[in-house]
Structures are given as structure tokens and as C-alpha cells.
A and B are shown apart, each in its own frame.
Chain A
């Protein structure tokens, strides 16, 4: 059953781009998404962090929307769930900051620091990176949905 849906999306010539673009995009979206998660999670050891990783995740979804049609991308992550992830990311960041208030001051680094140069270290910094990454990625994908659905510039003949 799933093979039929994949065949239908790939060989449907009226929507999206050509066959070469669709085949390459099928491989690239997974790699770009994985790269984005890598940049977010290792943000406290190598360059990167929450903001760069979040924008990379948004680019993966935008690639899906451009290569296939808008309908396929909205089926994977529609605008309702993009808004939910945006707000969840912001809420997680603020909740972590408020929990620090109980231990000292606002945004205090209350988790045990751990051994340096390992993945689990540096307290709240990886958790904050993940929250910001989800927030920025979902917000930029949502604005691209908005620009493509609502902002249709029509010429005079189409009115």
C-alpha cells in the first residue's frame, strides 16, 4: 500500500518538480534533517547551537515543500502542528528558566555539570538548545506555509 502512494507521488508529473529533483530530494531531506539534529545536540561542544540547527530543520521541510507539492509537505507536518511545536519550544525554555529560580536565580544552571567534552555535560545548555531549535525550526516553516498559501500574487487575467 505504501509503495503505491510513493509511486503515485513520484510519477505524478503535474505537481512539484521533475523526476530527477524528486529522486535527489528523497535522499537529501533525510540527510539535512539528520545534520540539523546533530548541530543542535552537539551545540555545547562544536560550533553551532540551537539557532543554526533550527534553521537547518526548517530548510529540510521547505525542501520537501518545493520539490514535491505543498499537499505532501502539509501531510507530513501541517500548520496546526507547526504552531503547536513553536509554542512548546518557547514554553519549555521558560519552564527550564523558572525551575532555576527555585535553586538560586532566574536561569540558574541547576543540573550537575558533568565531565567536560562529553555529550551529557554543561547543565541546562543542551536542553535549552533543543527547545530553541524546535522553536525556530517550526516558526520558520510556519511562515513559509503562510507565504505560500495566503500570499498568492495573481496577475490581472486570473482575477
Chain B
């Protein structure tokens, strides 16, 4: 349990670096470190499905963030210091942490989960569905509607990203669209 808390504190330090630094490449690398720390914690909490998915999604989101954030304008310098937004943010953090300390006295203690429906899934999962991976049985047999909704959400968000990125009208496929794209080289 001590290792768990140490990794959480490491993640808090990484978050502070990602929020405050002015160099965009450092911020993206810090977010990547926080993501890998989260994946280690998932492995500790006995969730191997989630750990695999978190590592893979972290890699792809790092690629997208580097492509957007570090092509031009590598630093985030603010010309005017906006005191109102900073004060509002800090007041919100203070109030939120105070509220959390009060609310977490009432939530379930850390290592005794409240499993009312899940007990039935664990008892009868192999018998009713035939799958040895109970998480796969839950997302594709007991709760398949949520998977359908999730497929629709991914579909729609990718469609929306394409609609936003398209140029006005259909441009003719020009010569410069065939040049390289590699991350480290500019065309």
C-alpha cells in the first residue's frame, strides 16, 4: 500500500508540472507520465483489461497531442496576467478539497466494495455466458447496450472531426498532398 501512495504522489507532481510549465513539449511529456502512472495503478488494482487499454490509448493520444501542440508556437506565454481566473480557480480548488474531506467520511471504505449486482455476475457468469473473462461477458452480454452506445459515440466523434477538418468545398488533389508527413520533418 505504501508503493500505491508513492505512485499517487508522483502523479500529483507530474500534474503540477503539466499545468504550470511554459514549454509545450514538457507539458505533453508530463501528461504522458501521468497516464503511465495511472496504468501502473490499474495493474495494482487487479484490472489487467483496463491497464492494457490505458497504455495503448496513452500512446495514441501522445502522438496526437505532439502533432497539434509542438508544430508551431512552442511556448505558452501569456501577455496579460488574468487575476480573476486564477483566483477563481484557486478558490474552487480549496472549496472542492474541503467538500471532499467532508464527503469521503460517508463513502464506502477503500477495500470493501459494495457488490450487489456484481455478485450475481461473478457467481453465474461462466455458466450463463460461457466466457472465462467476466469483464468481456459483462460488456458484451449483460450490458451490450452500453457497448452499442459507445460504438455510436466513437463513430460520431470521428465523423465530426472530419467535418471540421475539411477544406471548404472539394479541393483538387494537389501535388503537395503527396509529400511526407513524418513527425520530425516538415514538408
Contact = CB atoms under 8 A, between A and B. Distances in A.
A102 interface: no
Contacts, number: 145
A59 B141 contact: no
B67 interface: yes
B contacts with A: majority SS: helix
Contact of A146 (B56, B131, B165): B165
Interface string A114-137: 101100011111001100100110
Interface bracket on B? 35 or more
**Considering residues B59, B71, B141, B167, which has the most beta carbons from chain A within 10 angstroms of its beta carbon?**
B141
Interface in A91-114: 93-94, 97, 107, 109, 113-114
Given A65-B181, A147-B64, A150-B167, A43 B133 contact: yes
Given A43-B136, A123-B129, A147-B67, A132 B151 contact: yes
24 contacts: A15-B179, A15-B180, A17-B182, A47-B48, A47-B52, A47-B133, A48-B49, A48-B52, A49-B135, A65-B181, A71-B178, A97-B144, A107-B141, A122-B131, A122-B137, A123-B130, A125-B131, A125-B136, A132-B147, A136-B154, A142-B162, A143-B162, A146-B165, A149-B177
Interface of A: 14-17, 39, 43-49, 51-52, 55-56, 58-59, 62, 65-67, 69-71, 86, 90, 93-94, 97, 107, 109, 113-114, 116-117, 121-125, 128-129, 132, 135-136, 139-140, 142-144, 146-151, 153, 155
